[in-house]
Structure 1
Amino acid sequence: MYRFPLSSAELFALPSGALHWPAERLLVVSDLHFGKSERLARRGGALLPPFETRDTLRRLDDDLEATGARVVICLGDSFDDLAAADAMDADDQLWLTRLMAGREWIWIEGNHDAGPLALGGSHRAEMVIGPLAFRHIATAETPEISGHYHPKLRLAGQARRCFLLDAARVILPAYGSYTGGLWSHDPALTALMQPDALAVAIGKTALPLPMPRKG
């Protein structure tokens, strides 16, 4: 994991792509995109193995167990669309319900979905805890934590998902399996991040390095 400050908060970027704020017993994940394979099949797109929801749930279960988080914020695009929430396998829905039990669970509205209304939890367009704002898409109002862009970089010839962070904001990687990404050198991201921004590549470890700004 990689520890860093944002405003007065001490945060940890986890190798899974989740963000941990121990002082608030808070775990933040973004862009779970549950049901992506189902949505693609339903719309006649590429066929993917239908295991991404279970794989994402397993990693989320592991992170909750490891951190002891009592509050979870899902930063939008939790489902690939609202129909995917309704089509969620019963066993997967039970697993998610078990993870939610006994925790404060906040669904932030994304551009793919407004949050799974039938699954409980609270639903917000955005929210503020202490000095930090939590929303799906980055704005000019900082300090903030957001997602949406699925940032990635190339490391040792391989694409790796990554956090992007500077003194004003954190952009989380997509947590869900089978999610694509936007290269860190894309103008949409270089325009948002300060010149000294870091990228934290995820995988087996959380590896910080200067944010790549060239393809």
Structure 2
Amino acid sequence: MLQEPAETFAYDFALATCGSLRTGVAGATVTLRASGALWLEAEGALIVADLHLEKGSSYARRGQMLPPYDTAETLGRLEAEVARLAPRVLVLLGDSFHDGDSEARLHVADAARLVGLARGRQLVWVVGNHDADGPRALPGERADDLSLAGLQLRHEPRAGPQAGEVSGHLHPAAKVRSPRGAVRRRCFATDGERLILPAFGAYAGGLNVRDAAFAGLFRRPLLAGALGRDRVHAIGWRSLAAD
């Protein structure tokens, strides 16, 4: 479990448009969107992690039947963010596909939507552990990592504190208890030095930020930007509960 250092510090959060939160990560100004996307306004860059496209069809092949609508729903939310922000750069931060055959299982209409997302902008597929080979037939650039706005973008966080790192992979989630019960939501996790994005995919799960997997990644007490229906809620470490 994460241990909170003795020193305390103030987070510089500001409410931005559409319920977003604007903050700093290693000196770079970033906007945490209620959709779970990261917006770097100065660079015109929109970043999403862990789409896990075709997770439903992957499970169906193994006999676990899920409604086959996850890819369409995930792409719809991504298209909505692109329409609102008109990014010059769109970064898919790894595990965009759930397995190595997911691209081949894409419905032709969903493949066309991905082609459309690349039109008129730079599309970068940062590869992850589920999609290490990257896309085969779709447009865009494949990358193991990417430097942008002084930040280092990669799929899986490196061990130990990493100033300026932006990653996904862990699918962070925040849980808050109250006398009326508990609420659990996907979240951004940051200590002002590094940032871990929530999973964007419709069928992607969430791992509690108090899980041991997050131990040692943050130099200072982390703060969760929990995703509400239409805004991001800043929640301090002491208010976060374990599962």
TM-score bracket for the superposition, by shorter chain length: over 0.9
Secondary structure of the corresponding residue to residue 66 of structure 2: coil
1:168 is displaced (CA, Å) by 1.6
Is the Cα–Cα contact under 8 Å of residues 82 and 116 in structure 1 kept in the other structure? no
Match of 2:9 in 1: none
Q: CA deviation at 1:142?
A: 2.7
* Residue identity matched to 1:195: R
2:222 — aligned with what?
197
Q: Residue 211 of structure 2: which of 186, 190, 206 is its match?
A: 186
Give 1:213 shift. Answer: 6.1
2:214 is paired with a residue whose SS is helix
Provide structure 2 residue ranges, at least 5 long, that are not aligned to the other structure. 1-19
Task: Please state how far the C-alpha of 1:2 moved relative to its aligned partner.
Answer: 0.6
1:31 maps onto 2:50 in alignment: yes
Which of the numbers 17, 38, 54 marks the counterpart of 2:72?
54
Specify the alignment match of 1:138 in structure 2: 157
Aligned length: 214
Distance in 1 of aligned mates of 2:216 and 2:236: 15
User: Does residue 95 of the first structure (1) align with residue 113 of the second (2)?
Assistant: yes
Letter in 2 for 1:206: V
SS of corresponding position for 1:118:
coil
Within 2, Cα distance between the matches of 1:95 and 1:214?
Answer: 38
Residue identity matched to 1:168:
E
Specify the code of the residue in structure 1 equivalent to 2:171.
H
CA distance, structure 2, for counterparts of residue 7 and residue 180 of structure 1 = 28
Q: Decide which of 9, 13, 19 is 2:38's aligned counterpart.
A: 19
Q: CA RMSD in A?
A: 1.4
- The 1-side partners of 2:122 and 2:138 are apart by 13
1:203 positional shift: 2.9
Aligned structure 1 segments of 4 or more residues deviating by more than 3 angstroms: none
Q: TM-score, normalised by structure 2?
A: 0.84
The structural deviation recorded for 1:214 is 3.9
Give 1:79's aligned residue: 97
Structure 1 residue runs of 5 or longer lacking an equivalent are none
Task: Give, in whole Å, the separation in 2 of the partners of 1:8 and 1:194.
Answer: 16
Whether contact under 8 Å (2:49, 2:94) holds in the other structure is: yes
- Kept in 2, the 8 Å contact 1:186–1:213? The answer is no
CA distance in 2, matches of 1:8, 1:191: 21
Q: Deviations over 1:130-167 (max 9, x none)?
A: 31100001114431100000011223523210000112
Aligned AA (2:40): W
1:47-91: CA deviations, max 9, x gaps? 111111111111101111111211011110000012011110001
Contact 2:187–2:198, Cα closer than 8 Å, also in 1:
yes
User: What is residue 210 of structure 1 aligned with on the other side?
Assistant: 236
Instruction: Identify the residue that residue 7 of structure 1 maps to in structure 2.
Output: 26
Conserved? CA contact 2:43–2:149, under 8 Å: no
Amino acid at match of 1:137: E
Q: Given the alignment of the two structures, is residue 104 of structure 1 paired with residue 129 of structure 2, yes or no?
A: no
Instruction: Return the alpha-carbon distance in structure 2 between the equivalents of residues 47 and 104 of structure 1.
Output: 35
Bigger Cα Rg: 2
Q: CA 1:37 to 1:73, structure 2 compared with 1: closer, same or farther past 3 Å?
A: same
Q: Is 1:26–1:73's contact at 8 Å kept on the other side of the alignment?
A: yes
Alpha-carbon distance in 2 for matches of 1:73, 1:3: 19
The one-character-per-residue Cα deviations of 1:23-67 (angstroms, maximum 9, x if unpaired) are: 0000000000000000111122x2111111111111101111111
Identity of matched residues, %: 38
